[in-house]
Amino acid sequence: MTKAAGGDARYVARPRTTGRPLHVLLAALILAPVWATAVHAAPPMLYHSANDDGVAAPGIPQELGMPMVTLFLYLDAGAASTGTGTTCVDGDGDELCGWEWALLVNGGADIQGFVPDPAQDIVSRVSATELAGIGGNAVTGQLGPIRLGEVDLNITAPVWSVSMQTGTAVTAAFTLTNIPSTEIAVPEPGFATALGSGFMVLGLLARLRTRSVSRKFLLVILLLLLTPGSAVAQDADADGVPDGIDNCVYSANPLQEDFAGLYGPPGDGIGDACQCGDVNSDGAIDLLDAATYERGLAGLLPIDLDQDKCSVIGNRLDCDPNDRQTLRETIVGSGAGIQPVCQAANAVPPGPSRIVAAGDSITQGFSADCTCNAGFFGLICLLCPAGGDQPQHSWFDGSSLGNSFYALYGGPGSGITSSRVSVSGAEMTSGGNQFSIQVDNILALSPVPDLVVVELGGNDVCNRGCVDAASCGNPLYDDATWTTAIEAGLDKLVGFGHPTSIPIGGTVYLLGVPRVQDLYAAGVAKQTGNSSVNCDSFRDSFDVCEIATLNAPMSGEDLPTRLAALETRIPRYNEIIRDLALAYTTNSNGRNPNGIEVVTDYVNESIASVGTTPFGENEINGGDCFHPSVAGQSTLAAGAWRSNPR
């Protein structure tokens, strides 16, 4: 661990110029027999296939070309598929579920470039003498030979070598194994091998660190002895270790366990209990965490993502693709590095004193308790959706819901006050009640809320005339329009170019755009066999979200075409919300110098959130067959609370 700019402790991505520290390699050698017995009779091998066919040469391939040589990199652990167990969980096959490696070029050659295989998701770092990469598929695993890509070398002298310096792989049994160090290309036998080995030894010696576990232990003991006894010594996590010498100030760990750090043992001064990025909680930050992240984000076993340790960039409780990408970049020595931002490494903020919701008719509980719109009592039934807002059923603070967002805080008895500035028909992007205007109403409140929850976007979809810009004059909003509208509201909430903001220490919580694309099928299911509900008739008569419900051509686009477009467009809107939340919280966009927390519940389409909550027949009301029923409002409340940061 090093000190980054600004003085905060973090893992800074750094070039691994000659491999991992000697103590790491020695530990790997000691543990190698244990790892090797997990599945494989032989470890995975990284090699250069001279004919680019995946076949490894019987010896070290000799490449005599000048001035350019191209190496074709492959990785192979065998061709036996898992027969017992599940691949990337407890499989017994030769599949690899992740891999990371570093190549070292010695002598008269330098790396000109690396072209990853298009079938692989690889993060790489390239310098003149080193190539590091990380990739793999932790969802299904891959059998060898796995083509990694092409390396172009510029040959400047007759003596050179390329060595597989260091690497690890995740097996089908979801255990970590070493990729053996070996030379993969030389210009001539014998001398190049000796040269490469010599450089490797020199590199290992250069990396030898003076820091050791015993030295750190003595330092802790010394600090304990020199720290004056005090009855008022601060101990934030009440684990008996004063904050001044606690390696996890906010996560109780009385034994101060510090098994490992980046790449593995030994410890790094950060306790295992608060090691951001250690999502499988084994103390180390390594390839196994990257693979665990991938499976967790896909909603697959083993689902053991530690929510308190997931965030390595951005918000305290993130577990999203941005964090996984940062973790992968750090492992190969690129990017900004792992930051100590996860909840385990930080104090839990106090509960809010006032919460306010910005939103549309969903937050207003529109027609939530309507159960019919046709049949013998059809005219009477139509009075229900005509009545409009029913805030008593709102997911946010509806008094009829035992699990409303506000009720889960404890309701009025909690001492927290709650209100809504939401307006039926409001959009994120335009209109008299758009997001930025609702923010004006929020900032005019007294006191200004310290938690703002935003649920908008459904009308931004429903009010459009087509999905393809070539089909009509008001198509679905593009990325730029959507982004600008969100920024307009967030800028005010955080005080960027605006005279006021929510309080420093406050939080903006952005919920995902709901699945409007589910409404047609949900309405068909609800009216089937129910003489008092006719969703098709009501929606056609009152033009209810036609882009998602009209089973007829609209601006030349039929319903299947429109629904297919919404299946990609709405997730894209949610990805933009997610990425903007990261940009504001980290101030990477320069728009949040006050450090106000901006959070979203959306991760991706595999992880539960408001934006991924399916709407079925029970989740829509029987009046307009569009807005959430009371049960649907309850489902939204539970979804919003699931990822609530405060």
How far is it, in rounded angstroms, from Cα 90 to Cα 76? 19
How far is it, in rounded angstroms, from Cα 268 to Cα 337? 15
Using only C-alpha atoms, what is the Rg of the chain?
Answer: 29
What percentage of the chain carries pLDDT values higher than 70? Answer: 85
Residue 339: count of CB within 10 angstroms of its CB? 22
DSSP string, 521-590: HHHHHHHTT-TT--HHHHHHHHT-SHHHH--S-BTTB-HHHHHHHHHHHHHHHHHHHHHHHHHHHTTTTS
Mean pLDDT, range 502-515, rounded to an integer = 96
46: DSSP letter? E
The ranges assigned to domains in the chain are 34-207, 359-642
Torsional class of 587: left (φ above 0), alpha (ψ -120 to 50), beta (otherwise): left
Q: Looking at 314-393, which runs of residues are DSSP E strands?
A: 354-359
Would the pLDDT of 211 be above 50?
no
What amino acid occupies position 429? T
| pLDDT bracket for residue 302 (50, 70, 90) | low
pLDDT in tens, 347-368: 888 889 999 999 999 999 999 9
Contacts of 451 (CB under 8 A, 6+ apart): 352, 354, 355, 356, 506, 507, 509, 646
Task: Check residue 189 and give its pLDDT.
Answer: 52
Would the pLDDT of 194 be above 60?
no
Task: Check residue 251 and give its pLDDT.
Answer: 95
Mean pLDDT, range 112-119, rounded to an integer = 96
Torsional class of 411: left (φ above 0), alpha (ψ -120 to 50), beta (otherwise): left
Write out the H or E segment, with its range, that includes residue 214.
Answer: helix 213-226
Per CATH, the number for 34-207 is: 2.60.40.680
The answer to whether residues 247 and 256 touch, using CB atoms and an 8 Å cutoff, is: yes
| pLDDT bracket for residue 228 (50, 70, 90) | very low
How far is it, in rounded angstroms, from Cα 347 to Cα 252? 12
Do you know the residue count of the chain? Answer: 646
Would the pLDDT of 287 be above 70?
yes
The answer to whether residues 340 and 270 touch, using CB atoms and an 8 Å cutoff, is: yes
What percentage of the chain carries pLDDT values higher than 90? Answer: 72
Strand partners, 110: 154
Dihedral sign for Cα 482, 488, 489, 495, please: positive
Rounded (10°) angle between helices 321-331 and 559-585: 60
pLDDT in tens, 547-595: 999 999 999 999 999 999 999 999 999 999 999 999 999 999 999 999 9
Distances (CA, A) of 567 to 230, 362, 470: 61, 20, 19
How far is it, in rounded angstroms, from Cα 492 to Cα 485? 12
Helices (H), 312-434: 321-331, 378-387, 405-409
Task: Check residue 63 and give its pLDDT.
Answer: 80
The answer to whether residues 157 and 107 touch, using CB atoms and an 8 Å cutoff, is: yes
14: DSSP letter? -
Using DSSP's 3-state secondary structure scheme, residue 49 falls into coil
CA-based nearest residue to 589, from 490, 507, 506 = 490
CA-based nearest residue to 493, from 554, 445, 552 = 445
Would you state the structure tokens that stand for residue 172, as one six-digit string?
């089908």
Max Cα separation, the chain?
95
Which one is predicted more confidently, 68 or 209? 68
User: In the CATH hierarchy, which fold is given to the domain comprising 359-642?
Assistant: Rossmann fold (3.40.50)
Would the pLDDT of 212 be above 50?
no
How far is it, in rounded angstroms, from Cα 558 to Cα 443? 43
User: Is 359-642 the same fold as 34-207?
Assistant: no
pLDDT in tens, 72-98: 999 999 999 999 999 999 999 999 999
How far is it, in rounded angstroms, from Cα 194 to Cα 199? 9
How far is it, in rounded angstroms, from Cα 173 to Cα 38? 7
Dihedral sign for Cα 616, 619, 622, 625, please: negative
Would the pLDDT of 12 be above 50?
no
